[in-house]
Structure 1
């Protein structure tokens, strides 16, 4: 498994960490435009002080950057800079940079090491951990990719102070997810300290990040390539969420926002199937009610769509098998399972309609 470091400042001894893991001090540093502006000089100055040779690459800060077109542009810049298999790639940013950077690293020269340096709460607790890297296709998100484990994951909670509130709440969706699927006590902790965490206050935010990262790392280690069904439980709320993202052209709703809405649907579906009690449903919905959404977002990108249309969009999700949707549901709060049987469309659309009345 990757070594996960959570500290501030996390880049202070990055050369020592690279040496420990047998990584060359020759690295491609990938930013998006926002991250480059906010912390780029700090990162590159630190690399200079510690004797690195680096090549800087910058991509637009949007989901559409996860494309073959952008990847090809990065390959060209790397080849022209004489980057070879002796280099590695440091992905500095949120989920888009981490996914695209990992995809490029996995495919360049048939694979060079990648180091993830996430700067958003969502990336720190989810997308930077576990080695699933991908780009999007017009017919679906994350359909083309690799399993390419990072050599290191370097997390600095202090960087969250540079994020707008909307990004913090989007990241909290993944944090809360871990409580639902693996740790009921952690879910209670999040409910109790939700306000402190979204305000980026310590020790609450660091504890939430570290706990989330360790839960994901443990699941990934036990089921790296999603063969037993355990790793699939990390997708709680995601089948519904990816359907909403596709309807919004992957632009108008954040991944975490879609997952938060998807978890409402999945909780309700779990209760409809009798795998959680009505009391547990209310406890879960109480936690999810703490989320703040941009004005009009729920109406424009969830409630406006007929449940059948959302279901049709969900069918493009990569988590279906033999054209059947797979749902991660709860067997009580703190324990998730992959529901392998095909569910009736009426049951799924019914859960969506009930979720609309809550949101």
Structure 2
């Protein structure tokens, strides 16, 4: 098992990565449990697959469980869901010194984390991510949010978990498409800041996707460590360092929005296509070599992820996709910074991007192939 520290001033925490981490719940979570009952918010599917094992671990430690189940899907990250959850947490008499357990993917982690950020002006929570995407991305770093009619994750707060338990055994039941979607975020860490990890994934990515225990633990632990370093440097995304984690997301979120934030395009699939677009746009500007852009495209395609937006069957054009981008959280004084590349492993924040040029570029991509 790997243990990765997230070093924040006075508020650091640990991420435990390995198989059967849930079975060690009693010892790992004990410092954060003040009552003999765990308050648990779980994705319905995650609880169906992993609830029995979680319950056994809790009961072995002498803890009862109060359970709130959340329907899977982005639809649960809404005002209505947030209200229902916070009302329930208040009924459970959750106090500021208590910790709520979030078991599931990014939706449950985001929703629960935001509820805990605002409940009685802040109570603790523990992340138990059960998808690859959540284990390497959303469970670490303290970004919590719900969606609005305007866009994704636009209403939220920075609220760090007290502990993250990434049990790789939970990925055994993850559908292949969800596994590939999560892999997009793993690949992202190599593309944005670690050429050696990118090269390792070129040789070992198929083993990660096949859930080989050793390869999977290395990939998840390396990804978490990369995110932990960036979060420690720029927790609230004020210096530009943390913005690097959004590589592929400005383009990807626009694609997701055009698809109605639906299962037509999963988040990781949008990020994968967005990374290809970021690479190709970087090459168009003369920042990135065509060979590196091609390598990124092949890495995405090799993982079974979408690389060509012309194949997504979207009835849209570049101008409409750019309109979606205007709701991006990185907008500042009317300017939208873009995460672009100088080479594989060297991302940077470009603040001089002409959105009309982006629209023209997207029109070309939509008509390609």
The TM-score bracket by the shorter chain reads: over 0.9
The Cα shift of 1:202 comes to 2.4
CA deviations 1:145-201 (Å, max 9, x no partner) are 111111111011121110111101110110000001110010011111121111111
CA deviations 1:229-251 (Å, max 9, x no partner) are 00000000100111111111211
Which residue of the other structure, out of 157, 165, 181, is the alignment partner of 1:170?
A: 181
Q: Counterparts of 2:118 and 2:199 in 1: how far apart (Å)?
A: 41
Counterparts of 1:143-182 in structure 2 under 5 Å? 143-182=154-193
Q: Counterparts of 1:3 and 1:205 in 2: how far apart (Å)?
A: 19
Residue of structure 1 equivalent to 2:3 = none
Residue of structure 2 equivalent to 1:281 = 293
How many residues are treated as equivalent by the alignment?
355
Q: Counterparts of 2:349 and 2:309 in 1: how far apart (Å)?
A: 29
The Cα shift of 1:272 comes to 1.3
SS in 1 for 2:165: strand
**CA 1:40–1:298: 2 relative to 1, 3 Å:** farther
- Are 2:138 and 1:127 equivalent residues in the alignment? yes
Which residue of the other structure, out of 345, 355, 360, is the alignment partner of 1:345?
A: 355
Which residue of the other structure, out of 61, 83, 86, is the alignment partner of 1:75?
A: 86
SS in 2 for 1:141: coil
Give the ranges of 4+ consecutive aligned residues of structure 1 lying more than 3 Å apart after TM superposition: 296-302, 353-359
The Cα shift of 1:37 comes to 1.0
RMSD (CA atoms): 1.9
The Cα shift of 1:23 comes to 4.1
**CA 1:312–1:297: 2 relative to 1, 3 Å:** closer
SS in 1 for 2:302: coil
* TM-score, L = length of structure 1: 0.94
Q: Counterparts of 1:358 and 1:129 in 2: how far apart (Å)?
A: 37
Q: Counterparts of 1:199 and 1:297 in 2: how far apart (Å)?
A: 26
Q: Counterparts of 2:111 and 2:309 in 1: how far apart (Å)?
A: 27
**CA 1:266–1:69: 2 relative to 1, 3 Å:** same
Which residue of the other structure, out of 297, 303, 325, is the alignment partner of 1:291?
A: 303
Does structure 2 conserve the Cα–Cα contact (< 8 Å) formed by 1:116 and 1:128?
yes
Q: Counterparts of 1:14 and 1:301 in 2: how far apart (Å)?
A: 45
SS in 2 for 1:4: strand
The Cα shift of 1:356 comes to 4.1
Counterparts of 1:1-359 in structure 2 under 5 Å? 1=6, 2-20=13-31, 22-25=32-35, 26-251=37-262, 252-293=264-305, 299-300=311-312, 302=314, 304-341=315-352, 343-356=353-366
* TM-score, L = length of structure 2: 0.91
93-102 or 331-340, larger mean C-alpha shift: 331-340
Q: Counterparts of 1:293 and 1:209 in 2: how far apart (Å)?
A: 19
Q: Counterparts of 2:147 and 2:310 in 1: how far apart (Å)?
A: 24
112-121 or 26-35, larger mean C-alpha shift: 26-35
**CA 1:300–1:271: 2 relative to 1, 3 Å:** closer
120-129 or 85-94, larger mean C-alpha shift: 85-94
The Cα shift of 1:301 comes to 5.0
